[in-house]
Chains A and B, each alone.
Chain A
Amino acid sequence: MSKARDSSDLLARIKAGESAFLRELYEEKRTNFIKWVLWQYSCSEEDAKDAYQRAFSILYFNVKNEKLTELNSSLDTYLYAIGKNVLRGILRSQMDAQPLDSVAASQVDGFDFFEQEQQNDQKQLTQQLLNEIGDPCKRILLMYYFRNYSLESIASSMGYKNEGIAKKKKFLCLQKLRDRWAASKVDERGIL
């Protein structure tokens, strides 16, 4: 099998989001990554492990969201490039922890706190409702919209007869989530 084929197969397997495979990959790359960080940077082993967890997560998110669709170098090189930036961020945040009163006015000018706060509230509410509707809805929505599972995989994983049922179930869950959200907004207006 050619190298290009190898790497595209690898990316396809990562994108498929299967936990057992991702766990295996995580463990496979871990030791060398941590050793590399400890050699290159003067940081603690805890920081190195923290950096690896974050770098691996970012790698997965980038493959999943198709920001990374082909590898020009090895997966290790890509992972280390992410790790380098993550570790710089960790080390910088340790050095730059500034007291709240030292935030300059220029840093807050033009920042719409109200809009930001509103968006955060909306997300918090959806997150809460997603937890409230619970499984199987939460699981189905996460499998489809986050893990990119096919409807066929969802049907097989949830024990549904076919992908048509999985599709219907997915939309019913989305509808349920949206209805609850709409109801909670009405409640909110009622209180106000």
Chain B
Amino acid sequence: MEANIEVLELIERFHEGKLRGKELEAFQERQKTDSEFAQLVNDLRTTFQTIDAVGRQEFREEVALWETEIASNEQSTSRPVIPLRRWMAVAASVLIVVVPLGYFYFTSQSVNKEELFASNFQPYENLLASRSDEENDSKALDSGLQLYEQENYRAAAEQLEAHASQFPDDLAAKFYLAEARLASNQPNAALGFYQQVAEDPTNAFRELAEWRIALTYLTLASSDPLSQQLNLILQQEGHEYREAAKQLQTELAGGID
């Protein structure tokens, strides 16, 4: 069948979902009765799919090229050896700028706070899903964790809160309740639950809870408690989030590496 422009345009509109009512009915009828036309419709579907696949591949290659460029820029900027005296002069200048900026950050609602929080916080993976704990078994917990996995954090928090009020010793559930609260932008509601988990020295989530407390203060822009919490983590050799705390402290001070 000859594929003239009018026919191609019609088929393109069909694949784009732009045909409606009688026009669509007539198109579908023609597909049933005209085998060459039906073949052309299928051929073009494959063509559009292939153009999409080629486009995706080319985009991935473009991204890979960006990555190579950025990585090589990073390497080339880290290579030059700077003489000590010059380095100290630059460091002194940087300090003059950074110290007030760092102070400003800790004492104000920084515009970067949200980004910094987002780059450090992702709700922790649900490790309780397959837990079979008859003592603490409740429908609210199951439902809460299910909603948590579906990333419906606000609804998850409500269910987990119902469970926590029924089983106040279930600190693991309280940890996920706090995660759900923080993920749904309710840091004040999250803080107390994290603190309860962090106070239990044997709890598996203790170190993570301590880190989360720091992130909660970050999102609340509570500069002094944040600073104290980061120091608490930094003082603990082998703390799982020590490096992360160190990095955050550096970034807050303005000395991003």
Contacts and interface: CB of A to CB of B under 8 A. Distances in A.
Contacts of A181: 43, 47
A3 to B, nearest CB: 10
Q: How large is the interface on B (under 10, 10 to 19, 20 to 34, 35 or more residues)?
A: 35 or more
A122 to B, nearest CB: 5
Contacts of B40: 178
A56 B63 contact: yes
A126 B49 CA distance: 10
B59 to A, nearest CB: 6
Nearest to A56: B63
Given A35-B247, A145-B55, A178-B47, A171 B5 contact: yes
| Contact-size category for A | 35 or more
B29 interface: no
A26 B59 CA distance: 12
A60 B59 contact: yes
A170 to B, nearest CB: 9
B132 interface: no
Interface of A is mostly: helix
B118 interface: yes
Given A32-B119, A49-B67, A178 B44 contact: yes
Interface in A165-186: 168, 171-172, 174-175, 177-179, 181-182
B122 A146 contact: no
A27 B70 contact: yes
A13 interface: no
B122 A23 contact: no
A127 interface: yes
A26 B55 contact: no
Given A40-B122, A80-B119, A182-B43, 4 more contacts: A81-B122, A84-B122, A146-B52, A181-B43
Interface of A: 19, 23, 26-27, 30, 32-33, 35-36, 39-40, 49, 52-53, 56-57, 60-61, 74, 76-77, 80-81, 84, 119, 122-123, 126-127, 130, 141-142, 145-147, 168, 171-172, 174-175, 177-179, 181-182
